[in-house]
Chain A
Amino acid sequence: MIFSLPYIVFGLYTIALLISIVSIYKDSSKIKNSIIYFLICAFALHSGSIISRFFILGTIPITNMYESSSFFAWSVMVIFFYLYYRYRVTILALFILPIMSLLMFVAIMSPNEIHPLSPLLNSFWLVFHTTFAFVGNSAFAVSAGIGVMYLIQERYLKRKRKGDFFNKLPSVQILDEINYKLITLGFPLITLAIITGALWAESAFGTYWRWDPKETWSLFTWLIYALILHLRIIGNWRGKKAAILSILGFLSVLFTYYGVNFLMESYHSFK
């Protein structure tokens, strides 16, 4: 059961994605509601799979590629539901679910046997470091989706043509504000993730920082978001520029997470 759950969860997210694609062309409250129902079901099962894993493992289930991808996707959904509750923008699903399906796809494609964690790594830093990192990165993931929505709506307004999404997308100002809020949420979290990671490395290996590819890329990502916030606060880079930067920032997150894992040698790779 626990092992087939991720397939069901992946399936439900993908169905919700397909319905949101249909909803571009056929607009009705029934379709909108069904997207949310599918997402609630998927999220409930998803939470179940993570919780059961937690009890088997005895610690937060982020110890391999399957678990971490799944946890990443799960925290993206938490942020999605918060935004849906706050702003009632169903179309957000269309821009978040491709990321969700990608994350869940990687999860089900990875081996998901339960291996006991090496005692070297099993420390209380694990919980803090991984939670901060994944929730922070989820905020960045959603902000990238919001960034894409901003660019589409801004283009309609500038070109003075109402496209397919015009009525469904909220105002550019609100998208810009959500984008900024998500980055101000994500940035302190990944800052904490890097700090707790360094402390954890010190307790496990004796050094804080080893310029491992994962560490280097994390730092790079951190610098990008630091730059986004700096430009916004000092240089008033809001709107279109901020939206583009948030998308670039998330590409860096994805590379730090997957690229380093699959393309580079790192002691930090999820197996």
Chain B
Amino acid sequence: MNIIVLGLNHKTASVEVREKIAFSGTKLEEGLMHFSSISQIKETAILSTCNRVEVYFVVDKDNADEAIEKIQDVISIVHNIEKSLFLQHLYNHRNKKAVKHIFRVASSLDSMIVGEPQILGQLKDAFDLSLKKKTTGVILNKLITHAIYTAKRVRTETKIAENAVSISFAAVEMAKKIFISLTEKRVMLIGAGEMAELAARHLINNGVSNVIVANRTFERGCELANLFNGKVVKFEDFQRELVNVDIVICSTGASSYIINKEQMHKIMKERKNKPVFIIDISVPRNVAPDINDIDNVYLYDVDDLQDVVYSNINNRKKEAEKAENIVSEEVESFINWIDSLQVTPTVIALKKKAEEIRDDEFQRFKNKYPNLNEDTLKAIHYMGTAIINKLIHPPIIALKEHGNESTQIVEFTKKLYDL
């Protein structure tokens, strides 16, 4: 029996290829039904996200290559695409490697942004669908639940998902270390660019409730303010508003500084030195950099935030090493389970056979010598048990130790003992 992963991801295929063979919408169900109707395939599931398309399946050992061939055919038919267009991008992993691959995918170690949390949810959805369609069985069910468990372990035992890895998240991270809490805080957008909008959205998701927009074109300002349920002020008035807001996101196209140190000193006096966080994402910069020297003013430009992101990414890499260890541990534990699955029935049959022989012989012996007392009979039964245990002990050990590597031992044992 083989567990196989067949698929492609952001490392092996460009987005042009990925989007062509993505199982989105109704195609997902269609593909799943097609795969499960392939005669060699015992269990199957599909994981299809923006960054990867993977088919997980279980086949008998001898049928692996045939099954892979057939899956490729189905992909080509379902997506109406030449096989040659995607074949070179496909990878396939078998057994231990496949298990490791799935665990790494679930733990977000194989993601484009290592540590991003969405993949786990996507895996759960994929699993739910295949459960609903009954395309998975004992092995894939256990495999996927174990992958989810591993991902949770990685998330709680390492800090892989802790630090922000985008500029706007980094801004939120810093804001949390400046202010008591972000709720009730007021944010002002000076300029209404896309980046400013994104940063504002992240702040709002983290509790910021009040939005003020100051934009040169008043209409665009209104649009953005409406989007956030905020209020719009004339661009010329932004300095006056600086007295009341806590976070400022600056992204105008101005070619010179729109706030200088002297003005900021005045503003801080009016603010009674309440802390203010200024995010200047405009290039060229709009806020004089020396404003950062003023107490209680925290000024970050794009490069500053990018530096925070880089240091976070480095931290994630360190944490990823810990995560790889956890994955290896869990892979071992899963492989042990799979192995026991193949060996256990043989071991049980062997034990049962030996016990039957003992019981039969004991019965015959008792009939032959009816005058023996209870104690003697007990002693003889005990001796019989000891002999069969000694006899079947070596084959059981051999099965448990090597039965997993080669099914030959399992087959031989069955033949030798006529199981």
Contacts and interface: CB of A to CB of B under 8 A. Distances in A.
B132 interface: no
B61 interface: no
A171 B274 CA distance: 14
Interface string A22-53: 00000100000000000000000000000000
Contacts of A170: 177
Nearest to B173: A162
Nearest to B305: A160
Contacts of A212: none
A160 B179 contact: no
B178 A160 contact: no
Contacts of B30: none
A238 B159 CA distance: 34
B82 to A, nearest CB: 50
A154 to B, nearest CB: 9
Nearest to A169: B177
A122 B151 CA distance: 67
A88 interface: no
A239 B274 CA distance: 9
A207 interface: no
A173 B179 contact: yes
A171 B176 contact: yes
Interface string B287-308: 0000010011010100010011
A162 B308 contact: yes
A166 B177 contact: yes
A162 B273 CA distance: 24
Contacts of B273: 236-239
A173 B174 contact: no
Given A160-B307, A160-B308, A239-B275, A177 B295 contact: no
Interface-centre pick from B180, B292, B298 (highest chain A CB count, 10 A)? B180
Contacts of B311: 161-162
Contact of B275 (A156, A167, A173, A237): A173
Contacts of B274: 238
A266 B371 CA distance: 107
Contact of A157 (B177, B180, B272, B307): B177
Contact of B178 (A172, A177, A236, A237): A172
Interface of A: 27, 153, 156-158, 160-162, 166-167, 169-174, 177, 236-241
